[in-house]
């Protein structure tokens, strides 16, 4: 494959994984991951194939997250690559009987590896930026528990609350722009795996 073909294949893989998640194409989503792939996001830490099963369970519980995706940037080094893209995660959330959409702004990071001639995902991680609730009907408001929100990270506090309402216990120790050292650490780790220096 040419360099352009490799980039295109990786880009399509990443978009396929997220679209499969949004549309409930679970077998297609599972095929995007290597068997030993690892996932570390707000509500799940574990193997990629288990993440697919957990995502299906989340959808069946009525938490129908959707993803607005930006362009994919691929950094390629032989049989390994890093694919990054900005995203907004939209999660319908009911608060005090009113409908809101949780909008979580983030940067998605995928490690991608080519094995036996096929590109699949080796890991999926997220850097959290900020989030907010948007009312489905303009002007509607709701009271959120300030004491509980104070215990969540600023970069994804509303996301944590939305997950809490659905019975999830989100991690409070992930990479986020409120803690720049966590962002530096995740890039250092990924670029070490990639075999390239971190861009300056």
* 137 SS3 class: coil
Across the range 182-199, mean pLDDT stands at 98
User: Nearest to residue 115, comparing CAs of 37, 17, 2?
Assistant: 37
pTM value surpassing 0.85: yes
Question: Can you give the pLDDT at residue 41?
Answer: 96
For the segment(s) 3-194, the CATH number from 3.10.450.50, 3.30.750.24, 1.10.10.10, 2.60.120.560 is 3.10.450.50
Residue 191 has pLDDT above 90, yes or no: yes
Which residue bears the tokens 């409930």? Answer: 24
Cα 106 to Cα 130: distance, rounded to the nearest angstrom: 7
Across the range 4-27, mean pLDDT stands at 98
Residue 156 has pLDDT above 90, yes or no: yes
Across the range 24-43, mean pLDDT stands at 97
Residue 62 has pLDDT above 90, yes or no: no
**What percent of the chain is modeled with pLDDT above 70?**
100
- C-alpha distances (whole Å) from 16 to each of 29, 46, 98, 99, 180 are 7, 20, 33, 29, 30
Q: Quick: pLDDT tens for 120-143.
A: 999 999 999 999 999 999 999 999
Instruction: State the CB neighbour count (10 A cutoff) for residue 173.
Output: 8
């Amino acid at each position: 494959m040419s360099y352009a073909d490799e980039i295109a294949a990786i880009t399509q893989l990443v978009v396929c994984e997220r679209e499969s998640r949004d549309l409930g194409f679970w077998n297609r989503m599972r095929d995007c991951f290597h068997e030993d792939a690892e996932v570390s996001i707000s509500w799940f830490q574990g193997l990629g194939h288990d993440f697919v099963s957990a995502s299906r369970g989340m959808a069946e519980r009525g938490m129908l997250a959707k993803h607005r995706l930006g362009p994919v940037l691929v950094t390629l080094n032989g049989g390994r690559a890093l694919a990054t893209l900005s995203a907004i995660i939209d999660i319908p959330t009911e608060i005090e009987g009113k409908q809101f959409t949780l909008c979580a702004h983030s940067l998605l990071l995928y490690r991608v590896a080519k094995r036996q001639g096929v590109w699949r995902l080796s890991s999926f991680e997220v850097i959290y930026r900020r989030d907010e609730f948007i009312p489905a009907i303009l002007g509607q408001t709701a009271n959120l528990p300030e004491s509980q929100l104070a215990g969540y990270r600023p970069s994804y506090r509303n996301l944590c609350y939305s997950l809490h309402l659905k019975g999830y216990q989100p991690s409070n120790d992930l990479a986020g722009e409120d803690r720049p050292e966590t962002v530096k650490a995740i890039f250092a780790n990924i670029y070490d795996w990639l075999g390239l220096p971190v861009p300056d």
